[in-house]
């Protein structure tokens, strides 16, 4: 409820999206900066560097196998893995149109990932400006 006592309804659709290369680089930069000021993070990075050095030494002994991956391709090395982040699209309304909002948000999520001539903002503005509200109590005949 808001300050006037009106009910507020929120519909959300959550999904996972792969991180872009620029976001991965940004996280790497943040990790490097954090390494200078955070003792636990610095200790973790030192352990990882030692582990990587040991792996590279053992890689020289086993030159016909790729350390960190299985030949059949079932396991990938960390650098080849894709990192995902949680994202959520929310719609806030004074009206409890749960099913319609969920369908709209799912459609919006699908449209945002597909190539289209219309931007996602156009679908949102269409919902807000052009779609009429139903009559209270349902349609009258």
- pLDDT tens string 46-63: 888 888 888 777 766 554
Q: pLDDT averaged over the chain?
A: 76
Q: Identify the bridge partners of residue 86 per DSSP, sorted by sequence position.
A: 16
Question: Please, what's the b/e burial string for 8-17 (b: 16 or more CB within 10 A of its CB; e: otherwise)?
Answer: eeebebeeee
pTM over 0.85: no
Across 28-34, average pLDDT: 79
């Amino acid at each position: 409820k808001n300050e006037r006592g009106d009910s507020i309804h929120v519909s959300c659709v959550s999904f996972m999206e792969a991180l872009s290369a620029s976001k991965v680089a940004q996280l790497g930069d943040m990790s490097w900066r954090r390494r200078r000021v955070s003792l636990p993070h610095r200790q973790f990075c030192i352990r990882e560097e030692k582990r990587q050095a040991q792996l590279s030494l053992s890689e020289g002994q086993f030159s016909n196998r790729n350390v960190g991956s299985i030949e059949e391709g079932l396991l990938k090395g960390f650098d080849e893995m894709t990192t995902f982040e949680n994202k959520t699209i929310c719609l806030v309304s004074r009206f409890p149109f749960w099913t319609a909002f969920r369908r709209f948000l799912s459609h919006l999520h699908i449209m945002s990932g597909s190539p289209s001539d219309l931007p996602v903002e156009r679908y949102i503005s269409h919902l807000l400006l052009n779609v009429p509200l139903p009559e209270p109590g349902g349609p009258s005949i």
